[in-house]
Amino acid sequence: MTSLVEHPRRLHVVDPITGESRADYDIADEAAVHAAVERARDAAGWWAGLRARERRRHLSAYKSLIASRIDELAELIRAETGKSLAGAQLEVMLAVEHLDWAARNARRVLKRRSVSSGMLAFNQASSVTYVPFGVVGVIGPWNYPVYTPMGAVSHALAAGNAVVFKPSEFTPGVGVWLAQCWSELLPDQPVLQVVTGDGATGAALCRAAVDKIAFTGSAATGRAVMAACAERLTPVVIEGGGKDALIVTADADLDAAAQAAVFGGLGNAGQTCAGVERVYVEQAVYEPFVARLAELARKVRPGAEPEAPYGPMTTPTQPGIVLRHITDAIDRGARALVGDAASVRPPFVEPVVLTDVPEDSAAVTDETFGPVLVVNPVVDAEEALRRTNATAYGLSGAIFTRHRRRGLALAAQLRAGAVSVNSVLGYAGVPSLPFGGVGDSGFGRVHGADGLREFSRPMSVTWQRFRPPIDLMTLQPAASAMRTSLAMFRWRHGRSTHPARRDA
């Protein structure tokens, strides 16, 4: 089990699989964090001053260096999180794809663009340009220590910002590795730095003179981050977890839906913010779907070997949370179709499939973050939508149906930031799509054009092309100018196209 012991100004990290000591890392105090931000401030000026093509060249070199060392990084991810080797490799591949997209598209997305000036300012030419914030602080999670924080890091760098990255205290080595790769390419320009430490280090970063914070973690910690950032009115991007659902309609491909549920619910030991925790199945196909799902889930076994489907719980507290959710559901009448409370054998949790789970139980309302699937029947897709949306979270979701139009129509009614139809996590591999949630799942976006703009501030610029024949931008406009302008205004805006007004 991953454990972490605090020594004076040090983090002692233990391998979650073997229990062996891995390394010690500094706990950056407030002074160390502020010093890193000051270094980043100087580097930000140099970085923002480069042409977009030059930044793209440096980011492409960074991407290539990470890609060339994928085996080394995947082994480090595995050593600190316990996830399967394939899972770690996939994480790196996804992160590199998003970094590549951000580097290649930043100039196009963020370049100056002209906008219409309208009638009153027809003598003005108008444009919007996007300016880097300066220094962005990124606070990353432990479950995907490369893919998730690199979504913010990549787009913040591509937008012209310097970044100070605080990795999770459970995965500090991954953060240090990423920063060292950058230093190999640009040793004299600390555009990307890492500060290791615990929650106090993250709080110090929030209160430092950063220009924006991107945080991924629990909703409760996200609120604390927002409170700390409020002291300086520092804007934030929050990804606060999820309780995502998969909806299976009566016309769905049940084999494909069951396989997707297993992947989405058990992958990375269920420690995926956008993973599947709830499944709602139309009553007409409930029994055959559950039979398929149970058959697949019973074949899955976690393990310490690299090729295992999934590994252990990464943090020492997570098995207890998973056990509490399973026990609560069963005590309240749920049926354990696969596994039960005895499946929790720290540091591993074997697959658990629960059916007929009360909708107000913790396994339905709270983020379990373990290999537990709640599968409940519904009368129809409309009931599935109501149950899916009856949560404080709203990160993502999935829908299985053979009819494209119906799938898209149902997706539009989900209270979520991303939806996959006939797959799960389909959007994760599409670099042009933004990612983020609503409600307790947070706000703001990473990835895609929206992610680039998230780490830029829009600046509006006008320049007068010629003196206006009717000048209202003066303390005492001429009476004739006001009469003419008012007549034009009433003609343009006073005419209603509403049927009731026309009839009148």
**Which residue type sits at 328?**
D
The answer for residues whose C-beta is within 8 angstroms of residue 487's C-beta and 6 or more apart is none
Radius of gyration of the chain (CA): 26
Q: Which of 206, 273, 367, 454 is catalytic?
A: 273
264 neighbors 307 (Cβ within 8 angstroms): no
Q: Which helix (H) or strand (E) holds 463?
A: strand 456-464
Taken in order 223, 227, 230, 234, is the CA torsion positive or negative?
Answer: negative
Cα–Cα dist 371/267, whole Å: 8
Q: In Å, what is the CA distance from 344 to each residue of 165, 303, 352?
A: 34, 13, 9
C-alpha–C-alpha distance, residues 280 and 346, integer Å: 29
- Please, which residues bridge with residue 374 across strands? 278, 354
- Residue 50 and residue 55: Cα distance in Å, rounded? 6
Residue 5's DSSP bridge partners are 12
Q: Are 163 and 192 in contact (CB under 8 A)?
A: yes
Residues in the chain, how many?
A: 504
Contact between 413 and 385 under an 8 Å Cβ cutoff? The reply is yes
- Catalytic choice (239, 277, 282, 350): 239
Residue 202: its H or E element:
helix 199-207
| 273 carries an active-site annotation | yes
Point out the residues that are catalytic: 239, 273
